[in-house]
Chains A and B, each alone.
Chain A
Amino acid sequence: MAGIPVWYAAAKEHPMAYVTPSSAAEAYDVIVVGSGAAGGQAAYTLTMDGARVLMLEAGRNYDPGSETPMFQTPDTAPLRGVATPDKYFGFFDATAGGGWTVPGEPYTNAAAEEGRQFKWYRARMLGGRTNHWGRIALRNGPYDFKPRSRDGLGLDWPISYEDVAPYYDKVEMLVGVYGTNDGLENTPDSPEGCLLPPPKARIGELLARQRGRTLGIPVIPVRRAVLTRPLDHKTLPARLHPGNAKAQRILAEDMQSRAACFWATSCGRGCSIRANYQSTTVHLPPALASGNLDLVVNGMAREVTVGPSGNATGVTYIDKATGREHHAKARVVVLAASACETVRLMLNSRSSQFPNGLGNSSGLLGKYIMDTVGASWGGQIPLLENLPAHNEDGAGGLHVYAPWWLYKEQRAGKLGFARGYHVEFGTGKGMPGGAPYLPDADGRTSFGPRMKEEARRYYGSQVTFTGRGEMIPNADSFCDLDPAVVDKWGVPVLRFHWKWSEHEIRQVAHMQRTFADWIEAMGGTNARRPDPDGTKAILNGGFVIHEVGGAVMGSDAARSVTNSWAQTWDVKNVFIADGAVFASNADKNPTLTIMALAWRTADRILDEMRRGNL
């Protein structure tokens, strides 16, 4: 039933699903801190296999069924829906309760100058940032887990692509991802039955594909977590939960209640028909239907508590409605609060046993924060002027992209930077969000019927190229606790330190140059050539909202925060399910990898609990 959240039914059947601090049980098998991609996946895997889980979400409850503006046009929004400091991605963007600033919950930067800052985007809502994300769901490739072995820079992961691949398969089958297998270098194919068919390319994307070839750039369907057709509820549940009849039944029912995309409404608004992935529409409904998930919203985790044995005993959290502190006990604590929030929680979990924060015996907690390198370049393409009107809404986001294509040149040291980027582009006659492109070429301000004719002519003729590149972890990009600043509950806040290396700055210059060449190859002209100095174009850290690292996994307890299972070296019943454990940040958007690792970690927890090790 489109529009009716499944968990209402689930909550009715299992009245303990949504709990308050006073109605929560005293103890659980597992406490999961956070409800986004990591927390949603961890809770899903744990509860579907029978573990009793308490999830703590710092934000408010959120119902995509009734809160998503599906067909609203900008004239029904304040200021025609344009981006404001309150809603950075526009009024209709699904983010609630946050953005670059969260009222009452500040963070600080050690340096004042541009380019040395980290901007932290947070949501304060059930499902976190999964409600608004771009749904781009790329797999890391084999190189991406062993970057140091390849070029001597950054850190290797203690795991390889082969360790994660089965979990990429599972996540793709569970959430639904469109795309194709193209057999390109370090751009893994998926096994049969994992992917949904890609949407047709838009006209501008076809032109970019044709002209990209002249520059040696491949353009293929991107992978996004959007249902281009309904999920196969007859076979997928058995593949995902072999031998677990209850889980299969719940998932089969849930898959049938997700509609396929109806090719309208941008995914950033969220999706009331549950055609794309967000934790609130894909992970949480079956987890709640299992009867094994209790959920506290407005519960801000403050500290992971530790007992005399050195094991974690549970989590102290603040009920934001009352300001009161509560404590929940569990055998295992899973941190999935987002990389930086998880680091903050660990740094703030200080005790006589862990005076520098829980899991920080290596001194590396907060170190190696990475974001994605980002830069954009746009132009106007005469070939795309005056095209006949046709519907280009498509799957509510990107259809095609260019995976990194210069591995050989990079290996040969020809590029001056060590890691790659992929290219996303925006073309087409999307829903107007403001004034149309008007060149006013002769310097005269066009108005009246002539201007309206020009608006029609140029509408849809602009393209924007966006680069998304790999950042190498460095010693100057990290976070620690601000010695002076606390949030409204008195909890110390994060202070960020940031510096791009020459690799990222040169990579950005290469992006800009490539995009300008591409625009010319498409028959367009650049208003000017890009500045060869990449520092002019590179965005501040955090701006792409792909922050990972801070509690990196490794094979040596002295040089990492967790082992290869995302289990902290210091406290064996504390695991990290989010991006904090990333030892590198490939150009591939991190969400799919976060989910795959969260599933793997949850499987490990279940195994270890069954063996009596936890």
Chain B
Amino acid sequence: MTPELPPRIDRRLAIKWMLAAGAGALLADRMALGAAAPAPAAARQGYGVDPDLVKAHKPGEYWPLTFTDAERREAAALCDMILPVEGDCPSASALGVQDFIDEWISAPYPMTAADRRPVIEGLAWLEAESRRRFGSGFADSSGAERLALCEEMARAPAEGSEPSAASSFLRRFRDLACGGFYTTPAGMRDLGYVGNVPLAHFDGPPAELVAKLGLAAEVRW
């Protein structure tokens, strides 16, 4: 099953980057990514010290994204292995988490730039491994095949040995996917966050919970 992905980048943004970066620069970056070592994103600009905090921002607005269409499909499929549809809760890909990861690895900041190469190389490895084993790319493999690969990558390293590159990739990709997912309203709901709504008064924790934890004597104000 291939996930139906929401649009990544609108026409306005695409034109902006063509004009800003020049097609040549973008192409050169993309070609470098095709080789073993992805180009650093260091030359790019961040959003600066005075961005608009109120408007809704989209991935790709401040710096160009990295994923090819194929990488994006693969990333979405992996996101959904980590955060699948559950009841009313949408999958990670339906919430655009793959585009957050793309935005992240494409950003010019030190902590994001460090993830660029491991994510691109990890996706390349996963794609090759899927083709080798199942004859189809990761996104086009069956659910059982994808699960088998993920279970293998998720395994704890043998006693006394370092985690494999594939296993480190999954751990990091999992954390990025969770970061993207649980910061959306749907993800927050799924986690059990019920705030961010105006209240007339703040009542503190429910009395039965306070009593259950033996804390009733602490409620003094």
Interface residues, chain A, with chain B CB atoms under 8 Å away: 60, 66-69, 71-82, 84-87, 91-92, 94-99, 101-103, 180, 197-203, 206-207, 209-210, 221, 261-265, 269, 383, 387-395, 429-436, 438, 440, 442-449, 451-452, 455-456, 459-460
Contacts and interface: CB of A to CB of B under 8 A. Distances in A.
B183 A393 contact: no
A77 B107 CA distance: 13
Contacts of B174: 445-447, 451
Given A435-B176, A448-B150, 8 more contacts: A60-B50, A75-B96, A79-B107, A85-B110, A87-B49, A201-B218, A210-B215, A390-B206
A202 B205 CA distance: 6
Nearest to B168: A445
A436 B175 CA distance: 8
A451 B199 CA distance: 32
B197 A75 contact: no
B67 interface: no
Given A76-B57, A206-B215, A394-B202, A86 B197 contact: no
20 contacts: A78-B47, A79-B109, A79-B112, A82-B179, A85-B46, A86-B48, A92-B53, A200-B203, A201-B221, A203-B215, A207-B213, A263-B198, A264-B198, A395-B202, A435-B182, A438-B178, A445-B171, A447-B150, A448-B83, A452-B190
Nearest to B111: A84
Contacts of B153: 445
B56 interface: yes
Residue in A87, A433, A442 with the greatest tally of chain B CB atoms within 10 Å: A87
B154 A430 contact: no
Interface string B191-221: 1111111111111111001100111011101
A452 B191 CA distance: 8
Given A79-B107, A200-B204, A264-B199, A447 B57 contact: no
A431 B199 contact: no
B53 A67 contact: yes
Given A75-B183, A197-B221, A391-B195, A206 B210 contact: yes
A121 to B, nearest CB: 12
A447 B185 contact: no
A220 to B, nearest CB: 9
B61 interface: yes
A371 B83 CA distance: 44
Contact of A103 (B49, B53, B187): B49
Contacts of A209: 218
A455 B218 CA distance: 28
A586 B153 CA distance: 52
Given A87-B49, A432-B183, A445-B154, A78 B103 contact: yes
Contact of B194 (A77, A97, A390, A445): A390
Chain B, interface residues (CB within 8 Å), range: 35 or more
B86 A449 contact: yes
Contacts of B199: 262-264, 391
A388 B170 CA distance: 31
Contact of B54 (A67, A74, A262): A67
B170 A447 contact: yes
Given A85-B110, A392-B195, A459-B192, A198 B57 contact: no
Given A69-B53, A431-B188, A444 B154 contact: yes
A75 B150 contact: no
A98 B49 CA distance: 6
Contacts of B213: 203, 206-207, 383
Interface in B13-64: 46-51, 53-57, 59, 61-62
A87 B49 CA distance: 6
A313 to B, nearest CB: 34
A79 B111 CA distance: 11
A187 to B, nearest CB: 16
Contact of A73 (B170, B185, B200): B185
B108 to A, nearest CB: 9
B103 A79 contact: yes
A210 B214 CA distance: 9
A57 to B, nearest CB: 15
Interface of B: 46-51, 53-57, 59, 61-62, 81-84, 86, 95-96, 100, 103-104, 107, 109-112, 150, 153-157, 167, 170-171, 174-176, 178-180, 182-185, 187-188, 190-206, 209-210, 213-215, 217-219, 221
Nearest to A221: B221
B81 to A, nearest CB: 6
B54 to A, nearest CB: 5
A264 B194 CA distance: 11
B61 A102 contact: no
Contact of B192 (A76, A265, A383, A456): A456
Contacts of B107: 78-79, 84
B197 A81 contact: no
B178 A436 contact: yes
B196 A436 contact: no
A97 B205 CA distance: 39
A449 B80 CA distance: 10
Contacts of B217: 210
Contact of A445 (B51, B62, B170): B170
B49 A265 contact: no
A432 B202 contact: no
B195 A86 contact: no
A451 B221 contact: no
A390 B217 CA distance: 20
B178 A96 contact: no
A77 to B, nearest CB: 6
B219 A434 contact: no
A455 B46 CA distance: 31
B53 A455 contact: no
A302 to B, nearest CB: 22
Nearest to A219: B218
Contacts of A67: 53-54
B28 to A, nearest CB: 24
Nearest to B205: A203
Contacts of B170: 445, 447
Contacts of B202: 199-200, 261, 263, 391, 393-395
Contact of B156 (A72, A77, A91, A444): A444
B195 A68 contact: no
Contacts of A99: 49
Nearest to B203: A200
A203 B213 CA distance: 9
Given A78-B61, A206-B215, A445-B171, A393 B195 contact: yes
